[in-house]
Amino acid sequence: MSKLAVVYLSTQGSTRMMAEAIAEGAREKHIEVRVDNFYEWDPKDAATYDGIAVGSSTFYYKMLEPISKFLDQLIAEGVEGKIGAAFGSYGWSGEAPIMIAERMRESGMKVIDPVLRVQYVPNEKDLKECLRLGKDIAINIKKMTKKT
Ligand SMILES: Cc1cc2nc3c(=O)[nH]c(=O)nc-3n(C[C@H](O)[C@H](O)[C@H](O)COP(=O)(O)O)c2cc1C
């Protein structure tokens, strides 16, 4: 079965809400999903998934340092050709998801649009977008795993 890893770091729960909605959307398309805070993940394990969505809120105009390290470790395991997605809550500048997507692309992942950013706490409309992204990720993972 195709598998999606959703990894996030969230200080007050907004990025976490996005992560849970993305996971729910992907599950609706019948793929196996594991969603957890980054510290519950071993990057080696996450790298075995067909798709990897990474989320971080923006702090001081970048992603949070622990998730940046996690991303480095993940990429070092080899993620070329896998499906990627980036998301996160922000307050006023919102660089983190863009930076995550950039690093994913540089490492050869196929990043699904949109790179999803939500200002502060997600509302119902925002969560619908997260759900939609989860579905799109799942559809792309299924397409990819069919080919190989
Ligand atoms: C100390 C601090 C620094 C922050 N720096 C930024 C920033 O540079 N750019 C931005 O867009 N938001 C910034 N924010 C806002 C957070 O990204 C925002 O509150 C977000 O909703 C937190 O999401 P989370 O609960 O998933 O961590 C900052 C917040 C704090 C407390």
CA dihedral 105, 6, 116, 141 (to 10 degrees): 60
- Report whether pLDDT(76) > 80: yes
Where does the pLDDT of residue 148 fall: very low under 50, low under 70, confident under 90, or very high at 90 and above?
low
Q: How far is the CA of 3 from the centre of ligand 1 (A)?
A: 30
Per the prediction, the chain carries an average pLDDT of 97
CATH number, domain containing residue 113: 3.40.50.360
Where does the pLDDT of residue 83 fall: very low under 50, low under 70, confident under 90, or very high at 90 and above?
very high
Tell me what pLDDT residue 146 has. 82
- Residue-number span of the structural domain to which 117 is assigned: 3-147
Atom of ligand 1 nearest to the CA of 119: 21
Tell me what pLDDT residue 68 has. 97
Tell me what pLDDT residue 107 has. 98
Q: How far is the CA of 121 from the centre of ligand 1 (A)?
A: 11
Q: How far is the CA of 107 from the centre of ligand 1 (A)?
A: 26
Tell me what pLDDT residue 147 has. 66
Atom 25 (ligand 1) nearest CA:
12
Q: What is the pTM of this model?
A: 0.97
Residue ranges of alpha helices (H) inside the chain are: 14-28, 43-46, 65-76, 96-106, 124-147
Q: Please write the tens of the pLDDT for every residue from 7-40.
A: 999 999 999 999 999 999 999 999 999 999 999 9
- Report whether pLDDT(123) > 80: yes
CA dihedral 20, 50, 132, 96 (to 10 degrees): 70
Tell me what pLDDT residue 1 has. 80
Q: How many domains does the chain have?
A: 1
Pocket residues for ligand 1 (CB within 6 Å)?
10-15, 57-61, 89-94, 120
Q: Please write the tens of the pLDDT for every residue from 84-102.
A: 999 999 999 999 999 999 9
